Amino acid sequence: MQSSNDFSQATAATASIPFADTPNTYGLASRVNHWLGAALVIFLLGIGLFFEDMPRGPEKLYWLKLHVAVGALALLPLAFRVVWRLFNRGPAALDQSIARQRVTRLVHVVLLAGIATLVITGPLAVWTGGRAIEVFGWFSIASPTGTMETLHQALEIVHVIAAKAMLIALLFHIIGAVYHVIAGKQRLSGRMFGRPGAEKINSKINRVSVIDS
């Protein structure tokens, strides 16, 4: 439930980007999380899809090592991103049909659940394969589990399925964002892009919920 205080904060947010989310816009923390996370995920997904069909050999090993090293560095920011979203619900749903709101929400949930699954299964797959996580020769994290072949294979399968689910959700997500821009509704997407005044778009929804509350 939103209070009138939330409303005044949200209206004030049109002047600058607030740190935390308001009912009308994503705050600075969510925006940094989103764009840093997006860059890391697209990079890791790209490398993974690139090497997945390669025959075993030095070239595949090179890309796998790069994937694991970048994945290990990305682990904390990505985990933080998911936890942040769990405790910060973000702005109100966009002013669009209930069906579209549901699809948008489903896509976001698949993306976040995908990140969580990938950052858990990735390192565990390396460790249960009996290997250490090597990060560019800077440091390595030895396997706390030792070799556990059956679990290793299961984790690899879950990792692959999560990556594919994320790829599909990501296509929907990016097409949706592009649609908003092409359809001249870029102010909606401005909740994440940071255009000045973008936050005003939801003021109608906001007023209704303030009156309702």
Going residue by residue from 36 to 65, which x/- string records binding to ligand HEM, judged by CB under 6 A?
-xx--xx-xx--xx--x-----------x-
Q: Which of 92, 123, 143, 152 binds ligand HEM (CB under 6 A)?
A: 123
Q: What tokens appear for 164 in the block?
A: 């594919």
Q: For residue 48, what are the CA distances in angstroms to 2, 68, 121, 143, 169? A: 42, 10, 14, 22, 16
C-alpha to C-alpha distance for 82 and 77, rounded to whole angstroms: 9
Helix (H) and strand (E) counts for the chain? Answer: 7, 2
**β-strands 139-141, 133-135 pairing:** antiparallel
Q: Does 115 bind ligand HEM (CB under 6 A)?
A: yes
User: Which helix or strand (DSSP H or E) is residue 135 part of?
Assistant: strand 133-135
3-state secondary structure of 139: strand
Going residue by residue from 146 to 175, which x/- string records binding to ligand HEM, judged by CB under 6 A?
----------x--xx--x--x---x--xx-
Restricting to residues 127-146, name those near ligand HEM by CB under 6 A. Answer: 133
Where on the chain is the footprint of ligand HEM (CB under 6 A)?
30, 34, 37-38, 41-42, 44-45, 48-49, 52, 64, 67-68, 71-72, 75, 78, 85, 90, 94, 108, 111-112, 115, 118-119, 122-123, 125-126, 133, 156, 159-160, 163, 166, 170, 173-174, 177, 188-189, 191-192
